Chains A and B, each alone.
Chain A
Amino acid sequence: MNGSILPWLASALVLSGALFCLLGAIGVLRLPDCYSRMHAASKAGALGAVMVLGGVAAASSGEVALEALFALLVLLATAPLAAHAVSRAANRAGIRPIVGPLGNVMDAEHAARGEDASRTDEAAPSEGKRTQVGQGGEAPGSGLAGDGVGPTPR
């Protein structure tokens, strides 16, 4: 009975794994910015690879199951770390994420800091009127910077 189920299971796992990998790749192509693309690469890509590994374990009737399990664990540990590393690098390089109505909390903070700096500049005695624009003032989607949306800690 095992002999009849395992090949079907292996085929189903490898095929669906390949499909998820394809969806991840389509996501990397279609999503608008680096940060959104990392969602597709880390989620769909990782699940696809895990399913292919499961399919390999099933296709070999469990002979390489241990190797597949180790590969699976390594993959599950590295996929989110890689996505995190890429998005953090983008963040440090100053690449602004495209954001929706909720905005970007970092832009809001930069804008607040910029406003504070300009207020202290105005308060200080100076020869002419100076304006200092906050770093995140022109970022897309940062329109709600001062609307109280942002820090959510409790």
Chain B
Amino acid sequence: MLGLHILLAAGLAAFANALTPTGLAGAFVLVYLMLKLGAGLLQVRRYVRRVELAARFVGWFVVEVVKASLDVARIVTARRVVTSPAVLRVRLRRGDERIATLIGCLLTLTPGTLALDYEAEAGELLIHALDTDSVERVERAVREIESRLLAWIDASEPVREERDA
């Protein structure tokens, strides 16, 4: 469906003689709006929902990456570098190694956390926190990434949640 979406966007951009990155992005949004309007008719409600969740996730993640960099900047430009690092263990809600890999990568780019290791048997992620005074804060950061990512991934698999529950 994504391929068809991109193809339609490229076609629309070419038709409007605007086959540039900005034109393509505009056409992609336009095709998305058309799909959203006709979601019920074209039976693409799930795909539209997935695109929305993906856009929301990407937007949130970009903000988090900028926040993480500003956080590092604040620490390293201080007169004295004062941090209170910690190594913690957080159990992931879903033990799938592919999802754990994704979460580990995303976690490393978000503020204050770095994925050290993953223990597949226990389903636990070993995390190095740069400057934290509470375990809950780190756990909350992991849970937020996890819930957003799983919401996006599960958007096209409604049966999955029932199986997990």
Contacts and interface: CB of A to CB of B under 8 A. Distances in A.
Instruction: State whether these chains interact.
Output: yes
A66 B121 CA distance: 40
A133 interface: no
Nearest to B136: A152
Interface in B84-140: 84-91, 104-109, 111-112, 114-117, 122, 124, 126, 128-130, 132-135, 139
B81 A84 contact: no
Interface stretch (B29-37, B47-55, B72-80, B153-161): B72-80
Given A44-B73, A152-B135, A102 B83 contact: no
Interface in A31-57: 31-33, 35-36, 38-40, 42-44, 46-48, 57
A35 B87 CA distance: 10
B83 to A, nearest CB: 6
B89 A39 contact: no
Nearest to B125: A153
A31 B126 contact: no
A112 interface: no
Chain B interface SS verdict (over half): mixed
B150 interface: no
B6 interface: no
Interface residues of A, number: 51
B22 interface: yes
B147 interface: no
A32 B69 contact: no
Contacts of A154: 91
Contact of A152 (B66, B88, B108, B115): B88
Nearest to A34: B128
A76 B109 contact: yes
A99 B87 contact: yes
Contacts, number: 146
Contact of A23 (B72, B122, B124): B72
A27 B75 contact: yes
B113 to A, nearest CB: 8
A83 B77 contact: no
Interface string B56-69: 00000000011011
Given A36-B130, A62-B20, A83-B108, A30 B86 contact: no
Contact of B133 (A87, A88, A98, A101): A101
B68 A31 contact: no
Interface of B: 20-22, 65-66, 68-69, 71-73, 75-77, 81, 83-91, 104-109, 111-112, 114-117, 122, 124, 126, 128-130, 132-135, 139
Interface of A: 20, 23-24, 26-27, 30-33, 35-36, 38-40, 42-44, 46-48, 57, 62, 65-66, 69, 76-77, 79-81, 83-84, 87-88, 91, 97-106, 149-154
